[in-house]
Structure formats: C-alpha cells, structure tokens
A and B are shown apart, each in its own frame.
Chain A
C-alpha cells in the first residue's frame, strides 16, 4: 500500500497503463514537457517520448476528434481537456461522433478512449475554471461517465477506463487533486466502472454523492452522528453512467431517505436522474421527499472568495439538508 493523493494516483494509472500497453497514448495541451497544468502527466513525456505523450495545439475539437480517429485505428488514447470548462469546442466530436460511432456503425466500429477533465470549483477559478458540466455528458447515450473521489478509485477507475472498449469521460475534481493522501493498493488493481461504493454505513438516511462531494459528505456524516445521533449512509456513486441503481436502491431500502448532492446546478442536473430513479423504483421505501442539494442557479462560480463560498456546497450545507430530511 502506498499513500498517494489523487493527482499521484491518476499519474500512476497512466504510467502503468502506458507501460503495460504500448497502444496507450496521452494527448492534450501542455501534457508533454510541462507535464500538464496540474502535473497529472508529469514524467510521462521523459519516459515515453513526445509521440506517445503529445502536446497538441490549443484545439479541443482536434484533441477529441483525433483521439477518436486514433481509437478507431486501434490505439488507446487518453485525451486531456485542460479544464472541463474548455471542452465545448470538442462537444461536436464527443456528442456527434465519439458517443455514436458504435451505434451508428451497427457495432462494427468502437472508440475505446478516455477524456480526462479537471472539473469543479473551490480553487478561485471563477466561471471558466470551475465548472461541473458532467450533466451534458451523462445525458449522452454511448458515453460512460466516471467521477472518482478517492486516490484508490482515481487510479483503479482510470485503469478501467483506459481498458474499456467504450469512450469514457473521466471527471477529476481539481480541488481534490492534492487535498489528502490515502492508501492505494499496490499493483494492477482495477476498479470496475458502473459500481458505486458505500463509503460509510448508516441507517437514517442515504447521501448520494461523487467526486469532492464524497469528502464533504463524510465530514457532514461525522457531524450528524456526533451532534444529532443521525447515522448517514454515504454512497459514492463513482460512475455516473452507467448508474449503479442496484446499490442506490439497496441503500434507500435500508434508510428510507435519500439526499442527492452535487456541485453542478440543480435544474435538469444529474441529481434529477438519481432522484427520479429513486422516486420511480423505491417509492414504497421512502419516508421523506427525495431531496437534492446542488449548486445555485447561476451560470458559473463567481470569483471573489465570498462569492465562491456562497456558491460551494460545504459539509455544513449537507448537514443542514440532512437534518431537514431526517426530521421526516
């Protein structure tokens, strides 16, 4: 077991996969000599050379589209969007092409590729370096969407994503990159895509979360236990699509209360899908309203620290939402 932060875990996953499989390549802006603006690809350029660790022009559409071409050809590209906020020029490629080529070719072409994207706020990145835009991609059939919250999951899920036959959008909450270290199993440990994890057992209510929200929810759960005697079950979804409805429904059956937490705004967001799934399939288990705690309805995270604090989901807000739900 090694103690790693999420950034180190992600780097380790790419390194091991590139070592294991020469079809794996990394491409994106500043991923080469610099090692990425966050350092996720540090050391890979020196080890694997400037073809397999490829600095691209500032052209996100090209990064996604060329990655798809390479994937169709037989490589396993791992493309980095410098920030999730900058993915929109690549939207056409991701939505029209990458997600659809398998279906539209009747299963004869595949696009086994990963698009890694740092997302989320809390780092003074304002409107264009803080977005949580996973909802655009979770609503796109043909994509898999992953958002790990721990170093072990970041490493194991990225390995799974690189080996997957389908395109995977890999969301890395940038605030968690160096937030904490935790044990990561040594060796080739793959965390399966499509499987949620109960991060904390509880009996009074279930909190569904992913990415950085896992850390916030676990902290909130300690407060709830200490101050209210409320035992919250924390379910880290880890994969947003395909959604592990089995684990979600099992948790709701146990607790009877569901709180869905994400940093992206509420309206039409990913939480709505989780909430609707629970409402449709666990109606008789419910003792209170399925509740969403989500980012505010503004077009982005505002910059000034007081404004950003206003925007962000915090453990205290989760505690407040959980208290209200627990009172039913």
Chain B
C-alpha cells in the first residue's frame, strides 16, 4: 500500500499531473458514479432490465485508464468497467444508450445485456459474459502490436474471482514470455458475487502471482486515486519501453450488490456493508483535493451540477433513440457475403441482405 502522507509537494505534481488533470479525474469519477446511479433508477423504473455496477471502483478505473492514449491504445474491459470505458472514450450517452439497448448503441446495437462495454471507434473491445476471456484478447492485441512494432499499449481489467480462470494464467504466462505491452488490472473488491476472497484466492494476493510470470506485481489501494495512477503510469511507460507487462491489483470496494439480481445482505454482515462507505473513493479523493487547495465547496457544487445536467441531457437523448429493428436481428452474423455466390444457407441471410 502507498502511504499518502509522506510527500511534501502535492502528490499529483510529483506525478506530473496538473491541477486540471486531477480535477478532470475527479470529475470523471463523479460522472461515472452519476451515470451508474441513474442506471439503477432506470432499472427500478422498469426501463432497464438489469444493472451491474461499478460503484466503488471509480477511483481505480479512472486512474488506471488515465495514462492510456484515447483512440490509440486499446482496452479490453470487464462488466464493472463503466468508469474506465468512459475515461477511454465512451460518452455518457453511449453508456445510457447501451443500457437501454437502443438500436444504435455503439457497443452492440441492443444485442447484449447492460454492462457489456465495447466500442470499435474507441479501441474498446466488445465484451462477452464468460469471465476472463477478454484478458486473452488484450494479450492478443498486445501481441499484434509487438509483431508489427507499433507503439500501442493494451490494458485489461477483471475481478479477483476471474483471476482464478485458467485463461488468466495462459494470458499472463504468454505476456510474460514475450514481454508484451499489456497492463493487467485486477480490481479486487473482496467478493466474487457472494464468495469472499479467502475462498477464491489461495495465498490471498493476486499481484503476488506476477512473480511467477516474470512481471512486476503492484499491490495498490484502489481508493487511493493517485497511487492507482502512479502504478498505471509506470506500467504504461514500461510497456512502451518494451519492458513488458505489469499486473496491478487494486483493492477496491463493491458498494452495491453484485448486480440488480443480487442482494448482498444475504451474505454480507450489515455492519460490513455500512463500513464500505468509509472506503468510497469519491469523498476520499475530494478530501485530498481539498487538502491540496484545488477543490473548494464552490467548485464541488459546480462540478456536481454540471455532471447532473450532463446525465439528464444524455438520458433524454438516449431515451429518444430508436429501438432495435427485429427485422435486422439476423444481420451482421458474418462480416462479408459468402464468396462463391448464391450458396448462402436459406435460413441465415447474409449481411447486406434485407436492406
């Protein structure tokens, strides 16, 4: 863990971040939280069938995605990556549109459940539901960049439960063998749905496993935004210098139940759930920015008003977007018409047909 009280200069300046940068990070966290909370309201109102939340993860996510170059680097997210996806390019409207499963949602055109982030235009890889598969895609993208000699860094995120999948081992081992330019971010919130980390992770540490793959394993307090940024920034530089992958384990809190279909009161002590609020990264980062003299009551109020207005506006626009057209549900199964001509299977029209 990083001790946040040992520096004399404001920490962000030591890390090369300006006041605008850290306020931007704080605003990104507020925005992700506000969108997340709006999604829950919409779910309760019956507009969205299902929600899987990133609340409590915003600090680690905004900070780790912050060094990534938008539209240049790549990211393979997971289902709690709302704040990273937004930091990496998805707009508020993109996120809400995807949750509403509208026809022009950039992630899937209404084909996937909420929380399956993706966007080709943002180099944000489309996510599926079996956990951990995306980590191999990140490694494959990094392999592609390495083969071609491109200065591209890929980041992927996953939970500590997923860290136990065999594919994670395969991915980290391969990345370690070839020193691929990839950053693994494990967001450890202590629970894989209902099963606590001591029943999931032998030895208790995901980052310790990095040693076995010949890469640095960085254990970081996921509520300490600047510590997360420092870890990600160093990992990004290492990757660009050709020194290979880094595994970052960020200890975060899951402020909500696993999803809208779960009730964590069934398996977590009420006192434990109540205590999580103390570890919410948003008030903590706000306090740090206030101590550094960057954030004032006035500015806080202004930021929150802006964020609220942005979410309101984006929600209105998203709700007005067209629903998917079921007559197109058979399209875009294959990327191109079958070569040879005239031989398509009758029950499976090809892309481009039916327009």
Contact = CB atoms under 8 A, between A and B. Distances in A.
Interface stretch (B64-72, B143-151, B315-323): B143-151
A89 interface: yes
Interface stretch (A4-12, A190-198, A284-292, A299-307): A190-198
Contact of A93 (B76, B109, B112, B136): B136
Contacts of A106: 105, 107-111, 332
Nearest to B171: A62
A248 to B, nearest CB: 10
Interface in B125-143: 125-126, 128-130, 133, 136-143
B91 to A, nearest CB: 16
B333 A57 contact: no
Contact of A104 (B111, B121, B334): B111
B73 to A, nearest CB: 11
Nearest to B129: A96
Nearest to B116: A104
Interface of B is mostly: loop
Interface string A95-134: 0110011111111111010000000000000000000000
A243 B343 CA distance: 7
A104 B112 contact: yes
B333 A102 contact: yes
Contacts of B334: 102, 142, 144, 165-166
B19 interface: no
A63 B180 CA distance: 15
Nearest to B342: A246
A246 to B, nearest CB: 6
Chain B, interface size category, equals 35 or more
A242 B343 contact: yes
B150 to A, nearest CB: 9
Interface in A60-105: 61-62, 64-75, 77, 89, 92-93, 96-97, 100-105
Interface string A231-261: 0000000000111111100000000000000
A69 B144 contact: yes
Contacts of A59: 170, 173-174
B128 A96 contact: yes
Contacts of A204: none
Greatest chain B CB density within 10 A among A72, A101, A142 is at A72
Contacts of A246: 342-343
Contacts of A193: 338-340
B137 A97 contact: yes
Contacts of A323: none
Interface string A137-164: 0000110100000000000000010001
A109 B343 contact: no
B351 interface: yes
B310 interface: no
Nearest to B136: A65
B335 interface: yes
Contacts of A61: 136, 166-167, 170
B139 A103 contact: no
A75 B143 CA distance: 10
A141 B333 contact: yes
B74 A73 contact: yes
A218 interface: no
B118 interface: yes
A164 B336 contact: yes
Given A68-B137, A96-B130, A105 B107 contact: yes
Contacts of B118: 105, 108-109
B120 interface: yes
Contacts of B143: 54, 66, 69-70
Contacts of A64: 136
Interface in A264-299: none
A70 B125 CA distance: 12
Interface string A169-206: 00000000000000000000000111100000000000
Nearest to B138: A69
B346 interface: yes
CB-CB nearest 6 A-B residue pairs: A69-B140, A65-B136, A106-B109, A107-B332, A66-B140, A192-B340
Given A69-B141, A92-B133, 18 more contacts: A51-B146, A52-B147, A59-B174, A62-B173, A65-B136, A66-B139, A68-B137, A69-B138, A77-B140, A93-B133, A97-B137, A101-B128, A104-B112, A105-B108, A108-B120, A194-B344, A242-B338, A246-B342
19 contacts: A59-B174, A61-B167, A62-B171, A62-B173, A69-B139, A69-B144, A70-B140, A72-B141, A73-B74, A92-B130, A93-B133, A96-B128, A100-B128, A101-B126, A106-B111, A142-B334, A193-B338, A194-B343, A195-B339
Interface of B: 74, 76, 105-112, 116, 118-121, 125-126, 128-130, 133, 136-148, 166-167, 170-171, 173-174, 177, 331-336, 338-346, 348, 351
